[in-house]
Structure 1
Amino acid sequence: MKHLMKLSLGLALACSLQLAQAQSAPKVVDLTSRPGVIQRMLVLTPAQVPKAAVILLAGGHGGLQISPDGKINWGKDNFLVRTRQLFVDQGFLVVLTDAPSDRLSPPFLRDFRETPEHVIDIKAAIAWVRSQTKTPVWLVGTSRGTQSAAYIATQLTPPDGPDGIALSSSILVDSEGASVLSMPLEKLQIPVLIVHHEQDGCRLCPFTLIPKLMNKLTDAPRKQLLSFTGGENIGNACNAAAHHGYNGLDNEVVGKMSDWMLNK
């Protein structure tokens, strides 16, 4: 019996080691997206064949300042930045994008998210992901990242554009550029997932405007609102430690987002 127990334990440890080896360490990928411009990405690969891919677009000014060794120097608490491994655990190939090399100082992505150059940069990221996997590619944005994801999706169609988008804590009131509500969302003919905290206290993201957002998605073949309550609410209402960033709800939010994007 002891021999069998040792054998079982050894097999379990071997399987765990194989899984750890199969899931490669995060790597930094630098793309030439425009002449003389580098779009840096941090790439995380699941242990198994990816079920889908997500390109994560952080909020705030978006300048994560990813170093060559993969260290993130800004925005570690951002909802999508801090949950990137949770998406990997759900089976996604995960790509976390930084500001491009010509926007690596203030104001970073501010006043840049709705520009042709930003579209070109993320188009290059999408093309790179498609070269790595034949699975669907999603753009996932949070807070100001929703301005990027929504705008890019209105400018590009697959395969140049994403196969679907997920918008969490959407910017619904005009500020520093176009709000998501002001964009031509009726053009979208891809699945759209809307994620929002009902108690989001950020003045740019009132939950009361979510029905208006959903109603604009007239041509989306599949759309869904995932709303959440509870968790922790700390500090500035527009920061990641507040309801705006789903503080305390990471596993629940990522789990439900993943299930919907994977059409479970």
Structure 2
Amino acid sequence: MIDIATRPGVTQRFLYIAPESPKAAVILYAGGHGGLQLDPYGTFGWGQGNFLVRSRQTFVSNGLAVAVIDAPSDRQSVPFLNGFRLSAEHAADGKAVIAWMREQTKVPVWLVGTSRGTQSVAAIAIALASGGGPDGIVLTSTILQDDKGGSPVTGMNLSALKVPVLVVHHKDDACRYCPVSGTSGLMEKLTGSSDDGLMIVSGGSSKGDPCEAFAYHGFNGVEGEVVRAIAEWIVAH
């Protein structure tokens, strides 16, 4: 468990796991409200089932150092990251974690988000495009439509992104905010990216709410293959 100072009076907690010689590093942003409520012993108060959270060790097994990021200390109650993901404060927290990961690992640092975590990843990378940002980003199950007062990723200034961008989506994602048909419009807006890729996934199984972690939205049943493909793409870039 790592706690670092990010803003005056604010700390950012994350769970850090790494192989002996990482090829790259990833900072994982969960979806939903994003408040993992990590205790000092690494126990999750919420979000254990989230695609990225439950796959954290698989990223490590594929050669990547991992930070599973919680909400910051001033967002440790409802609404957690809701209404905060696009803020300058969230970007400042992200910048501090990126710097820590770079210093710790000495390898490229990427941001990886899933569902509402893609709003965090895109917003942080855009805010830090002029310096201190990630070496690349991965958007999985991207928020492409939003009726909750937030901003879909497609509504952000994606042309500001100069780093590589990988978009990963399940072809049968039935979450109303994440129609696979919207991925083509997302890719068209990545005009400044140094490289971009679209990975459409199939297979697995879907259980429960189509916007939750064990539906196709959360790559249920194909997590290992998806994480391996993401890791290979990151290392290649």
Aligned partner of 2:156 in structure 1 is 183
Q: For 1:95 and 1:63, locate their aligned partners in 2 and report how far apart those are by CA, in whole Å.
A: 15
Q: Give the corresponding residue for 1:7.
A: none
1:232 equivalent to 2:209? Answer no
**Structure 1 outlier segments of 4+, above 3 Å:** none
| Matches for 1:115-126 after TM superposition, within 5 Å | 115-126=87-98
Q: Deviations over 1:50-91 (max 9, x none)?
A: 100000000000000000011111000000000000000111
Match of 2:23 among 51, 64, 75: 51
Question: TM-score, normalized by length of structure 1?
Answer: 0.88
Q: 2 CA distance for matches of 1:176 and 1:80?
A: 24
Match of 1:43, SS?
A: strand
Deviation at 1:157, TM superposition (A): 2.7
In 2: Cα distance, 1:158 partner to 1:141 partner: 21
The match for 1:129 is 101
Query: Does the 8 Å contact 2:139/2:167 carry over to 1?
Result: yes
Shift of 1:230: 1.7
Q: Deviations over 1:107-155 (max 9, x none)?
A: 0000000001101111110111111122110000000000000011111
**Residue 110 of structure 1 contacts residue 176 of structure 1 at CA under 8 Å; is this kept in 2?**
no
**After the TM superposition, which of the residue ranges 176-185 and 234-243 deviates more from structure 2?**
176-185
Tell me, which stretches of 5 or more residues in structure 1 are unaligned? 1-27
Normalising by structure 2, report the TM-score: 0.97
Q: What is the match of residue 191 of structure 2?
A: 218
Q: Alignment partner for residue 141 of structure 1, among 106, 110, 113?
A: 113
Distance 2:35 2:76 in 1: 6
Q: How far apart are the structure 1 equivalents of 2:41 and 2:111? A: 24
Larger radius of gyration: 1
Report SS of the residue matched to 1:40: strand
Aligned amino acid, residue 197 of structure 1? H
AA aligned to 1:84 is R
**Distance 1:158-1:55 versus aligned 2 partners, 3 A rule:** farther
Q: Which has the higher contact order (CA 8 A, sep 6+)?
A: 2
Query: What is the Cα deviation at residue 158 of structure 1?
Result: 6.8
How many angstroms apart in 2 are the aligned matches of 1:111 and 1:176? 8
Write the mapping of 1:3-152 to structure 2, written as runs, cut at 5 A: 28-46=1-19, 48-152=20-124
The alpha-carbon deviation at position 45 of structure 1 amounts to: 1.2
Report the Cα distance in structure 2 between the residues aligned to 1:188 and 1:132, rounded to whole angstroms: 25
* SS of residue paired to 2:124: helix
Counterpart check, 1:160 vs 2:132: yes
Higher helix share: 1
Aligned residue among 167, 190, 198 for 1:194: 167
Shift of 1:176: 3.6
SS of structure 2 residue aligned to 1:85: helix
Distance in structure 2 (CA, Å) of the matches to 1:188 and 1:92: 23
Distance 2:144 2:107 in 1: 30
Q: Distance in 2 between matches of 1:56 and 1:227?
A: 20
Q: Secondary structure at the match of 1:262?
A: helix
Q: Which amino acid is 1:69 matched to?
A: Y
Residue 92 of structure 1, CA deviation: 0.6
Distance 1:87 1:140 in 2: 11
Kindly provide the amino acid, as one letter, of the partner of residue 52 in structure 1. A
Structure 2 runs not aligned, ≥5 long? none
- Helix, strand or coil for the counterpart of 1:201? coil
Identical-pair percentage: 53
The RMSD of aligned alpha carbons is: 1.0
- Higher mean C-alpha deviation, range 105-114 or range 157-166: 157-166
